[in-house]
Amino acid sequence: MTPRISSRIAAIAESATLAVDAKAKALKAAGRPVIGFGAGEPDFPTPAYVVEAAAAATHVVANHRYTPTPGLPELREAIVAKTKRDSNYVITADQVLVTNGGKQAVYQAFASIIDPGDEVLLPSPFWTTYPECIKLAGGKAVEIFADETQNYLVTVEQLEAARTPKTKALLLKLLAHQRQKHYFSVLHLTQLVLCIQLSK
């Protein structure tokens, strides 16, 4: 019998995050005392004011129409303001693309820049979705491990050792504790960027 899905999709691994989350929920349903560390889902209800705002938005006729592909203009402007407020980084609305979530954004980014056989440098540890998004886009993830002895920061030397003529991108992801500590110093990021620029 012919498979019902493409070999490209069949080759994608199940989400480890969702598998762990499903197992934790099954154990909880069976009465086991479990603290789930899978999906980053809040353990409290959505605040009432958010629920009420969402319900009110359904009555606005303008919201009954197709949304512009990059997202609602008002939302994109709000993201510009939040980025400046929270990160002190200035962007413009035409640089903002609203997606339904992180997985969609990551996949679309790779689908836009990766050709078959391209390599993406992927510092580890990383979000389990990243390699699958790279693979689905036709690329190959090149994992670069950085453990606690180096504060989970890859070095320029590690990047240089992993870089090949097929290297197309470097994916940097800050873990929650790294964001809280401003983990990547300006100097470190500058070194990484220079490494990338020199590779062109």
Sorted by where each starts, the structural domains of the chain and their CATH numbers stand as: 99-200 (3.40.640.10)
| Cα(116)–Cα(169) distance, integer angstroms | 13
pLDDT tens column, 87-115: 888 999 999 999 988 888 888 999 999 99
Residue 13 has which token pair? 């691994």
Q: What is the pLDDT of residue 116?
A: 93
Only one residue has tokens 């339904």, namely 100
pLDDT tens column, 153-164: 888 888 889 989
pLDDT tens column, 12-65: 888 878 888 888 889 989 999 888 777 777 879 999 999 999 999 999 998 899
| Cα(169)–Cα(159) distance, integer angstroms | 11
Q: What is the pLDDT of residue 190?
A: 59
Residue 152 has which token pair? 């989970």
More confident residue, 172 or 161: 161
Start-to-end Cα distance in the chain: 47
Burial of 22-56, coded b for 16+ CB within 10 Å and e otherwise, reads eebeeeeeeeeeeeeebeeeeeeeeeeeeeeeeee
Q: What is the pLDDT of residue 180?
A: 44
Q: Which helix (H) or strand (E) holds 119?
A: strand 119-124
**Is residue 171's pLDDT more than 50?**
yes
Q: How many CA atoms lie within 13 A of 172 on its CB side?
A: 16
pLDDT tens column, 115-145: 999 999 999 888 888 899 999 999 999 999 9
Q: What is the pLDDT of residue 93?
A: 96
| Cα(83)–Cα(75) distance, integer angstroms | 12
pLDDT tens column, 178-192: 444 444 555 556 556
Segment 74-90 shows an average pLDDT of 92
| Cα(94)–Cα(72) distance, integer angstroms | 11
Helices 102-113, 129-136: crossing angle, 10 deg rounding: 40
Q: What is the pLDDT of residue 89?
A: 85
The answer to whether 188 and 146 are in contact (CB under 8 A) is no
Residue 23 has which token pair? 């197992």
Residue 193 confidence class, pLDDT cut points 50, 70, 90 = low
DSSP 166: T
